[in-house]
Structure 1
């Protein structure tokens, strides 16, 4: 049977790159891409770009106008019947990833949207695999070792992004009871380890934006925490996801796509300083002081950094990835070391730091 891949989250960066890898693996595959009506024109351009780059032909891609938050994903009944027989793999990537997102928006997209996708998946007659993109940070404010088998342990959450992704994963965990489901929990995603390419300057890129604002002054460390920060390049996420989508029963479960050997946040910050502005920090400011400053809207907008980012540089969680390493290691898929790709990441940032499409609007 020909593979038919159903995606939410297109024309997003990760979805587009996953599709490229899937076409390389299976040139005869077809793609059913659920797209919000507001994104249809952008999606049409994205498909043309994929085909122009040699990723498939226009006939392999179908854009479906729909909405994950609506009943039956707002797909017409007649076409929904066709999908029930045709779809073999579902990749659910659509979500609100903004750390500063209001609760009502996050809940509608991340929780209700996942609930509706789950109902759709249950209708499929030839499902081989559902891949759900969660996050390692469903662990919330827990500290210490976090296992792939753990989820509901009474944790609190640093923001509405975390809490709604946690609620969404609870829904998908229920699907695991009788469906072939893979839950992906990435760490903080960086750009491509070989090219530096990324779609948005968020996460650790906020550090680069902060340094842009103060590069002419002596640079501080932010806090004295010994916490480690878990960064993973996008190409590792892609390679792991495509492998797991075709790995059969051993892919049933939850996988931390995290760095098994993460560096201290202080060391990561220092290396970014050296690569971006050519000097090391020479003194330390309390993290609470920076957090208070970022509570002031004018300062936050000046440095272009979200307040919620600071918490991830003092996160005391350690993400065990034993199962991911076991399954992926057998296929030769490993997370690249941070120091092997940070120069590429900074070079890409330097080349595109003024691109408005890559900027996160900080309010």
Structure 2
């Protein structure tokens, strides 16, 4: 079927795993929005993306033919695209997939809002223009399970409208973007599926991921390599992670089905999320197998650990100091007793055999072996 996709975040963790799936249909074409300083930089970014996929020469050339790399910005009006290009997209685009996101936890709130809410406004504007042209079929909007903020208990697969506190400005801005999107869906009858992934790790078969993000730093933290062996007591806290190929496949599957419109999918481990103590054992074991030394662990109460970090930060290098200052953002989650419900999502995805096994433990181990 001749699908025409507009994709943001094509060079990110999810987007880079999704694009090859979209190209499986030989008649599909993709407009891939990328940040770039120049046309030459744009070409370089596309070539780096194709190289990441490790395609054969013929497949790589086919990808170059069917991916139209666009130099733009999700924060800017109409994505900072030329008028003729924007007009062409809105006349032909059948599917909009918004994967882009600035995953920084400690940005000033107004900056975080500009990234999350600004992008949502631009997605809606393009979607309405595509509606007017009569071509739009679906919108896939990637959010985060973090919109639940500090809710305790089971976070539902529904719009969350109740007042709540947030761990950081990233969560708050993404929640505000969802609030805006919900209003626009009701107002304009937009065919949107919201995808809320948890912390994305590598491919469940290969461990590959295009960028090492926050999970990499958490693994180093849990191994004790960043704290000289001192760690807070982890208790029964779990860390919800999800394999990147699972997320990408779910988005593609949803994009091909009209009955997923109006649904919210929690792409996560849910009740099966791994305990931090188990993850710590897995990290240290994998590092040991890879010849990476890890210090003996000394556990401290969280309050004592935070005081220790305050004392040692001035003694660290600039790079290590920046890393150590991120620990409080991570430790803020240790007091939560929160599980993300994914029962409805699993029921929907179970229609396809591709989702019979997420193999999360394999994904984590393969990912660690790639570090």
TM norm structure 2: 0.84
Residues 1:253 and 2:259 aligned together: no
Q: How does 1:239-318 map to 2 (within 5 A)?
A: 239-260=249-270, 261-277=272-288, 283-294=298-309, 297-298=313-314, 299=316, 301-302=319-320, 304-305=323-324, 306-307=326-327, 308-318=329-339
Cα root mean square deviation, aligned: 2.7
User: In the comparison of the two structures, how many residue pairs are matched?
Assistant: 347
**1:324 match:** 345
Residue 74 (structure 1) shift: 2.3
Residues 141, 335 of structure 1: alpha-carbon distance in 2 compared, 3 angstrom cutoff: farther
Residue 292 (structure 1) shift: 4.3
Residues 71, 327 of structure 1: alpha-carbon distance in 2 compared, 3 angstrom cutoff: same
TM norm structure 1: 0.86
Structure 1 CA distance for aligned equivalents of residues 84 and 149 of structure 2: 41
Task: Report the secondary structure of 1:176's partner residue.
Answer: helix
Can you list the C-alpha shifts for 1:314-334, whole angstroms capped at 9, x where unaligned? Answer: 432110012210111111214
Residues 109, 199 of structure 1: alpha-carbon distance in 2 compared, 3 angstrom cutoff: same
**2:157 match:** 148
Structure 2 CA distance for aligned equivalents of residues 38 and 136 of structure 1: 32
**2:11 match:** 11
Can you list the C-alpha shifts for 1:285-334, whole angstroms capped at 9, x where unaligned? Answer: 12233344455754584273522122334432110012210111111214
Residues 1:347 and 2:369 aligned together: yes
Residues 1:60 and 2:66 aligned together: yes
Tell me if the contact between 2:201 and 2:363 (Cα under 8 Å) persists in the aligned partners.
no
Structure 2 CA distance for aligned equivalents of residues 328 and 281 of structure 1: 42
Tell me if the contact between 1:33 and 1:61 (Cα under 8 Å) persists in the aligned partners.
yes
Structure 1 CA distance for aligned equivalents of residues 38 and 96 of structure 2: 20
Tell me if the contact between 1:87 and 1:127 (Cα under 8 Å) persists in the aligned partners.
yes
Residue 336 (structure 1) shift: 2.3
Residue 42 (structure 1) shift: 4.4
Tell me if the contact between 1:176 and 1:253 (Cα under 8 Å) persists in the aligned partners.
no
Structure 2 CA distance for aligned equivalents of residues 42 and 5 of structure 1: 22
Q: Flag structure 2 segments of 5+ consecutive residues without an equivalent.
A: none
Structure 2 CA distance for aligned equivalents of residues 81 and 345 of structure 1: 41
Tell me if the contact between 2:150 and 2:167 (Cα under 8 Å) persists in the aligned partners.
yes
Tell me if the contact between 2:32 and 2:69 (Cα under 8 Å) persists in the aligned partners.
yes
Moved more, 39-48 or 262-271: 39-48
Can you list the C-alpha shifts for 1:30-86, whole angstroms capped at 9, x where unaligned? Answer: 111223343754442243352872253433122223332222222232332222220
Q: Flag structure 1 segments of 5+ consecutive residues without an equivalent.
A: 350-363
